[in-house]
Amino acid sequence: MKLQFDPRDADPVALRKNHYCQDVWRAEAVAPIEAATQFGAYLRRHASVEMYSQRQGKAYRVARLAAHNAERFDGPFIQAWYESLGMFLPAAYAVMCTKQRAYWLFQEHPALPAPRSFQLRTLCQYFGVELSASAAHDALNDVRALVEVYRRLVQLQQRMLQAAVAWKLHRVLTVKQAS
């Protein structure tokens, strides 16, 4: 979904980086309030986080967001955008971050060869996830890549956990046999 905006207010470098095309934007862009309404409806359909309203005295559900570099960009940006529109963001304020998850995974398992950086493109290369240079910074392609990087991080974490459990079990059995 593309948002209506005045390109004169945007950085020309950012427009190029994000593949801005005035004709496409003119034909497809929607007003911010319409985009927020549609996104909010999508989030409500995928609400999985239980919350409790003390003011209303009842439970409700919100969606869990995930992003890359969430704490520095996506999370605060979306929250501020909804606030500026005077709308409720039906998502938990704590946004899962694939950059942080990757960073901690490699910190916790120093025997793993770490990627050269934790940028989304670099993690895609590391895990064999397709994200071409021309597709980068296209929101839908970034999301698809993010989901696959997240899956690969979880798989790697599970393999590391299974290996650790197997090693501990081996040690326990070895000690028992020795005694």
Domain that holds residue 147: 95-179
Return the pLDDT at 93. Answer: 87
Total domain count for the chain?
A: 1
- Alpha carbon separation from 91 to 25, 55, 156, 167 (Å, rounded): 27, 18, 27, 40
Domain contains 12: no
Domain contains 4: no
Quick one: which of 121, 24, 138, 111 has its CA closest to 69? Answer: 121
Q: Are 66 and 95 in contact (CB under 8 A)?
A: yes
Please report, as a single letter, which amino acid is at residue 168: K
Q: Are 118 and 99 in contact (CB under 8 A)?
A: yes
Three-state secondary-structure class, residue 81: helix
Report the distance separating Cα 133 and Cα 29, nearest Å: 24
Strands 96-97 and 66-67: what pairing?
parallel
Alpha helices in the chain (DSSP H): 12-17, 22-28, 32-45, 74-85, 98-108, 120-127, 139-178
What average pLDDT values come out for the chain (179 residues) when binned by 10 residues? 90 88 92 95 95 93 91 86 96 91 93 93 94 72 90 92 85 79
Domain contains 179: yes
Domain contains 124: yes
Q: Are 109 and 167 in contact (CB under 8 A)?
A: no
Report the distance separating Cα 81 and Cα 67, nearest Å: 16
Domain contains 130: yes
Return the pLDDT at 137. Answer: 65
Domain contains 56: no
pTM of the predicted structure, to 2 decimals: 0.74
Domain contains 105: yes
Give the pair of three-digit tokens for residue 102: 């990757």
Return the pLDDT at 40. Answer: 95
